[in-house]
Structure 1
Amino acid sequence: MLKPNNSWMWYYDQKYDALMLDLGDDMLFRVAIPTKNLIPCAFTRSTFTVDDASVYQSFLEGMSILELSAPRKAELALNAVAASRFHKPLMPKSWFFNQQSGTHQPQLGDIVTLSTDLGEGQFLIIENSGTASLCMMADTASLALNAAKEMAFCETIKVMNDRMKAYEGAAEAPVTFALVG
């Protein structure tokens, strides 16, 4: 697993038209956020801060319940850190998702399930602004939002919290105990 350090650098690469993270040792990470969704400071070179490292760790801990490979978890976590730091504010697009009963107040790094009429997917909470949250798709399989639009791994969307339910994870195998004595 990647271990953040103070030599990592955020920068915008005009050749690739993308925000990048230089991880040192000739390793580069290309952020999945479209250029049009980046705030102005994303175009200025900056270090991967202690706060970035802390948020990265929070995201990794939250996604430990997901059945993703270690490289996919690192990819999701780095994209989530970039979104938490450099993503423009979005208006909610809750109409794609079914309303849920009860009130869910997700926290940074939580995994939630969002359902459409065509399926459901798991999302990582990037930011909760009270009534709505910025979410990042945490499933590697795409999710159809409607007949013409779908979301892919690491794409972001802002959704009202009343559309979310807590992620229940994969069904756990029953635990058997041996009686001794």
Structure 2
Amino acid sequence: MLQPMSDWYWFSENSQLMLSMGKEWQCTTAYGQQHIIDLPKSHQLFNLSDTEYYLSFANHLLASGAQFSDAQLTHILINATAAIMFHKPVAPKSWFFDEVESYGFHHRLARVSNKFNSGVVLVLTDEHSLATCMLISSKLQLNENKFLRQFELIKLAKNRLEPLLSEASSQLTA
């Protein structure tokens, strides 16, 4: 996992939010102009708030026992931080997923399921009975015609989130 550095900065290219990680590395986030509140017009430093979110999510994911490569973990952390800092609010869409009896999340990880499939989400924000989540799995079918792609956000009632325990975490990016 890459550690945030003082030379990191956000910028946009072709209406896509990007992160420069020094002279040699850049990461294209999953978020374009249609998802972002204010797309940076020039370099916007990866500030203290960005670093706090990045490291907080890293601590949760590392403590979960989930198996990620350094590259996967870094990509998840960059997109989670970008979502928290720049993404437009999303409306609740709990009806796409089944209710679960024992609900919540474990180290901010949860599984969501419906009649089509299941996937793993990272809980970004926890608000009363709702949680804003980012899909970690590669994709998730919502209905006959709709899919959620990796790193897209969805807001759900917490009774749709099944805590993901470490023994079940081998299917994270499947």
Q: TM-score range by the shorter chain?
A: 0.7 to 0.9
State how 1:18-167 maps to structure 2 within 5 Å.
Answer: 18-40=16-38, 42-43=40-41, 45-64=43-62, 65-104=65-104, 106=105, 110-140=108-138, 142-167=139-164
SS class of match (2:30):
coil
User: CA RMSD, aligned part only?
Assistant: 2.1
* In structure 2, distance between residues paired with 1:130 and 1:51: 23
Percent sequence identity is 27
* In structure 1, distance between residues paired with 2:115 and 2:67: 24
* In structure 2, distance between residues paired with 1:114 and 1:129: 18
1:42–1:115 distance in 2 versus 1, CA, 3 Å: farther
The aligned residue for residue 170 of structure 1 is 167
* In structure 2, distance between residues paired with 1:42 and 1:111: 29
Q: Which moved more, 1:52-61 or 1:163-172?
A: 163-172
Deviations along 1:37-81, whole A, 9 cap, x unmatched?
211264453211122112111212222332332201110110000
User: How many residues get paired?
Assistant: 167
Q: Which moved more, 1:64-73 or 1:115-124?
A: 64-73
| Bigger RCO (CA 8 Å, 6+ sep) | 2
Aligned amino acid, residue 163 of structure 1: R
SS class of match (1:6):
coil
Q: How does the TM-score come out when normalised to structure 1?
A: 0.83
Unaligned runs of 5+ in 1: 173-181
Unaligned runs of 5+ in 2: 170-174
The aligned residue for residue 178 of structure 1 is none
SS class of match (1:33):
strand
- Displacement of 1:163: 0.8
- Please tell me whether Structure 1 or Structure 2 has the larger radius of gyration of its CA atoms: 1
Q: How does the TM-score come out when normalised to structure 2?
A: 0.86
* In structure 1, distance between residues paired with 2:167 and 2:54: 24
